[in-house]
Chains A and B, each alone.
Chain A
């Protein structure tokens, strides 16, 4: 165990999320007794432990099966991709309903938001491990293995093979990174000089918002506090993005060094990598890299032999909550709480982890920073646009021949990306995930850049055969599911929006429903507490503006339709009375 971490008074030997994960693994649920026990261990109110358990998708109070299947419902790696319905197939093959555990306790089935496997097509998590579903035969094969109680270790290994398809390398991915060099440069130049370099590079946050990285570090460095912290946001949860998976697997060194040189500049001794729960399978390799860095004197105490340069990194693994990608929600989660975004200001640069000055940056931002420390700011600015220096690593998925990771200079056109990934029949592209922008052909000449189409990396292609209303419904469900529930407009509004889109898709929507959807979308966007709410209705607004016919085609000509289907609501009564004759129906 690392000294600098275990000596820190506010460091618990085990993180609350990790303790709960261990209990979930051991008992397949987290019982009231367990929660009380954890509350005692951590000296926390049991209500806080309960709130955490109930907040995160991967914790459950009721028992999961020994085989716990969570199928992604993303538009790129979800169970409906490729024309099959794998969820339905599992329901039939395993005789278990979604959201339930089979009575023998062997298997449970459920849905989860994007698991970052969009370049592989339909995928799921089985006991937390990503598995590529491929086709109906595999679903049946999996059902057989489960019913035969075959250990996961004996399932075909290739089902679990996560490949990294890097289809285009650019500024960062082309570089041969020499471990330690960025840190040596930083020490040689000094903190002031290196901060100037980062500022001069024009590097902006790669998570999508695009705040100046140098300025963020400068504010944090200037902020007073008992301790400063560096946090790497590896909670890549925006549906359609998986480029951090590549960076974490193949470029972890530069990410660690980016964090470490940030620590040197802002004066931090502790850092965290907040790894999304869906990427738990990357944990042991990341630990190995961290250990190697400590052995090489590039992490830990007296880094590169420099007095007073102590910095170490812990990995905290999330437990399934998209909102934790929002930096203040991420910090709440790091502190062992539900991921509810804080009131901002104050911002994390002054009041972050434990209310101390904290830098939170995306994986790719730290990777870029390390390369800038090696090659200089001028090198970085050779690519990109005036306002968006450098390159952007995209996760391309959906209806194209070559899904995978592509690195481009900022300013690349959507058309260029579509050409390179061989998307010949694209009718629309969702850029930046469901929270981003939905564009049609008329906008394919627009650029990927902060000043035009900003993206954290997600680039989802929808071919002409795709029903865009289904896509909008999918996104609406996603936000309703991932809303943290803190503020009224988002908590209630995202659910209403989902219900409204469902109504239209069922052919029961009227013109008035379109008016209603617009009004609701503006309300959610304008009055919500955080970025999730502010962006949750973008896709509907874009859809109505750019693809109005998709909605129009589904409208009924009647001027009013009740929000519920009266005949459907009688179903329960029919079941109770065991009737299904014509008189028991309304139509």
Chain B
């Protein structure tokens, strides 16, 4: 295998051919902010939090192949300001009410806001009306909090082998849909232990009857930054498909 290096903010980072910039960065413990990426799932590039700069061009680290000699800027004031704006956009597009959300403290959107020093939402709220699906016995789908990251879609398809979710609609009408004839979660084959039911970075897919088991203040991002957690995450895709 050919080993080579890219440079991220002055630091040399080795990569293997076929790796993306994000793959190489995470392997070298260099954190690039991301929400729609989860190592082990096919990268999608929709949230744009992982935007980096190569020369004058901005690209998503999670979908751009590492090429020897790339000079990459990531942790700069300008890029982080853009990332903060993108995070604010995700907040105002949905209806995120952190104090009453079960995910608070475990929520990556919230953690990203903290990480990027977001003190307000900046943009005017959209106040979109979105549907809640509480039809499933064990899982509730609250689209108010969905950030359209597509992680549940990919987790269901690639790891659970089920294809429970999809995204439909154009522009700000885009919304998460369920692959069942009624469009309801109860008529899908989603189960509580599926990765798709557990991977949601926000509080859009929540388990029922499990509220506040861990008190606020003792949750993941109450104790760690998203950059610490983001460097540890990955899905052992192979082991899951071997089990089947």
Contact = CB atoms under 8 A, between A and B. Distances in A.
Given A45-B163, A485-B172, A489-B89, 10 more contacts: A54-B168, A480-B171, A485-B169, A486-B46, A486-B174, A487-B45, A491-B174, A492-B89, A499-B124, A527-B82
A30 to B, nearest CB: 12
Contacts of B177: 47, 50-51
Interface in A486-516: 486-489, 491-496, 499
B28 to A, nearest CB: 23
A483 B170 contact: yes
A491 B168 contact: no
A258 interface: no
A488 B168 contact: no
Contact of B65 (A345, A493, A499, A528): A345
Interface stretch (B7-15, B178-186, B195-203): B178-186
A496 B89 contact: yes
B76 to A, nearest CB: 13
Contact of B58 (A48, A527, A563): A527
Which 4 pairs from chain A and chain B are nearest by CB? A485-B174, A563-B124, A47-B179, A47-B166
Contact of A485 (B47, B48, B124, B148): B148
Contacts, number: 116
A43 to B, nearest CB: 13
Nearest to A345: B65
Nearest to A564: B124
B123 A45 contact: no
B149 to A, nearest CB: 9
Interface residues of A, number: 40
A495 B126 contact: yes
Given A499-B124, A528-B48, A343 B63 contact: yes
Given A45-B179, A492-B90, A527-B82, A487 B48 contact: yes
A491 B174 CA distance: 9
Given A345-B65, A529-B46, A491 B172 contact: yes
A395 B97 CA distance: 50
Contacts of B169: 51, 54-55, 485
Contacts of B58: 526-527
Given A321-B170, A529-B60, A493 B89 contact: yes
A489 B47 CA distance: 8
Contacts of A519: 85
B173 interface: yes
Contact of A495 (B63, B167, B172, B183): B172
Contacts of B178: 47
Q: Which of B48, B65, B170 has the most CB of A within 10 A?
A: B170
A523 to B, nearest CB: 6
B73 to A, nearest CB: 13
B165 interface: yes
B187 to A, nearest CB: 10
Q: Does more than half of chain A's interface fall in helix, strand or loop, or is it mixed?
A: helix
B168 A55 contact: yes
Interface in A326-344: 338, 343
Contacts of A529: 45-46, 48, 60
Interface string B82-125: 10011001101100000000000000000000000000000110
Given A50-B177, A54-B173, A563-B124, A527 B86 contact: yes
A527 B51 contact: yes
Contacts of A494: 171
A488 B181 contact: no
B171 A484 contact: yes
Contact of A51 (B51, B60, B124, B167): B167
Interface in A519-547: 519, 523, 526-529
Q: Give the interface residue-count category, chain B.
A: 35 or more
B174 A47 contact: no
B180 A46 contact: yes
B196 to A, nearest CB: 13
A32 interface: yes
A492 B92 contact: yes
A140 interface: no
Contacts of B174: 485-486, 491
B181 A32 contact: yes
B38 to A, nearest CB: 16
A137 to B, nearest CB: 36
A564 B89 CA distance: 17
30 contacts: A32-B182, A45-B179, A47-B166, A47-B168, A47-B178, A50-B168, A51-B166, A338-B168, A343-B45, A481-B171, A482-B171, A483-B171, A483-B172, A485-B169, A487-B45, A487-B46, A488-B47, A488-B86, A488-B89, A492-B90, A492-B93, A492-B123, A495-B172, A496-B123, A523-B85, A527-B58, A527-B86, A528-B48, A529-B45, A529-B60
Contacts of B123: 492, 496
B124 A46 contact: no
A341 B86 CA distance: 20
B58 to A, nearest CB: 5
B166 A489 contact: no
Contacts of A492: 89-90, 92-93, 123, 126, 172
A492 B90 CA distance: 8
A356 interface: no
Contacts of B179: 45-47
Interface string B15-33: 0000000000000000000
Contacts of B90: 488, 492
Contacts of A51: 166-169, 177
Q: Which of B43, B90, B123, B173 has the most CB of A within 10 A?
A: B123
A73 B15 CA distance: 50
Interface string B194-228: 00000000000000000000000000000000000
A175 B43 CA distance: 49
Contacts of B181: 32, 36, 46
B32 to A, nearest CB: 14
Q: Which of B48, B58, B177, B182 has the most CB of A within 10 A?
A: B48
B183 A50 contact: yes
A51 B166 CA distance: 7
Contacts of A564: 124
Contacts of B47: 487-488
B60 A526 contact: no
B119 to A, nearest CB: 17
A207 B92 CA distance: 36
A220 B169 CA distance: 33
Contacts of B85: 519, 523
Contacts of A495: 126, 171-172
